[in-house]
Chains A and B, each alone.
Chain A
Amino acid sequence: MGQRDILPLETSMKRKRGLHTASMCRLDLDPAVTVLKKEVEPGEEDALSSSRYMLGRGVKRKLSDCEDPVLGLPYPQQRQLVLDLCLDKLQSCQRRAEPSLHRSVLLANTLRQIQQEMRLEGGNCLPPAPPAPTLLHASTPRHIPELPPVSLDCPPHLSGSLSPSNSLATSEDGEAQLDCAESKPLYSSLSDEVDERPSDSLFGSFEITNSTSYLTDLALDDIFEDIDTSMYDSSDISVLAYPAPRGNGVASGIGDEGLKNFSSCTSNTLQLCLSDLSDLDHIMEILVRS
């Protein structure tokens, strides 16, 4: 490699786009932004007080220049930091217009891994008692989960204190300490308190929808349930929904299991057919009349 000289090609192409004037993205965290607002129990020093990542009074650790400041924290606090970040990111991921399934899966796995670790550690100290009601109300709005329960393998001795569905509800503020002296469970089960979400609501909202593929999300059976379609040859009707058999490798046309393969209809025709709900009504009328 040392023997090769590399220089710009004589002509270079440039895309004319406004240059971002985004603030420089550096490793240093903006001290003005406290990502984590933690309520700590009285008498306890907030590990993330104004001087970032400094421990409590007088306990300072000299870090080498290139280490992450967080590495100066004791392990449980590092873990808590990552856990909180994870939840923040998962929630903001859900709120995006085009959420990334890849990112959400990675975050959920990280979260699960940390939770399992915490459970196993805290599990030895927990009495099999149901969570105190006060815990449920102690959560900050930020911690009220928008996330559905994630099934985890639950150690048997915890099953009394945690709901079987092991909600993704986070640790309560102030419950971050992993002292075995803690008598309350780390994660109260909020699944009784929140609506049961459809099972794939965490990852189920990622399917891309637009006006041409919205049909995959509608309950097509409901729309057509009063229409007797048995007399119609399925290959002539391109808008009816058939559950495509999985794994048969045959041309599956539209992405999800909702729509049947149509050999007679190009994607353009489908777009024309299905661009509006009013078109759908129109189609229904035609089907009923004919």
Chain B
Amino acid sequence: MHSFGYRANALLTFSVTALAFICAIASFSDKFSNQNPSAEIQILNINRLKKQSYGNDEVSLTLDISADLQSLFTWNTKQVFAFVAAEYETSKNSLNQVSLWDVIIPDKEHAKFRIQTSNKYRFIDQGHNLRGREFNLTLHWHVMPKTGKMFADKIVMPGYSLPDAYK
């Protein structure tokens, strides 16, 4: 501590180490929050189920998505990324996941919503497996913190199905 530069350096390194500690504590405090998100998805209409000109099945849907993700937000949350995926099994793949719609939720106020929309991303199969197919619609979310580890979870809603013939 005998010189200005020595003291400035010591203070700088100690303050950065302490900063790392308080960020770790802030991240750890997320464990004490109660989280009970909820969601519901209805298929309003199946607009088209067709076979593309170069082979694969494609379906276009209109969805009614309502969700309450407000309890996921803590003081250490930067944003929540949520997406709806259709999941089904075929003879070729044990799990197919197709993302249909997503959103970035920047704060708690926007986390409770209801939206009616056609699928944002195209629902295309690897093959011709969609006729009469039963599938789950799963709402996944990734909670991105201001400091710390991102964690992800989901709600699985089973019981949706596609028509038996192309339309």
The answer to whether A and B come from one shared complex is no
Chain B residues in the interface with A (C-beta under 8 A): none
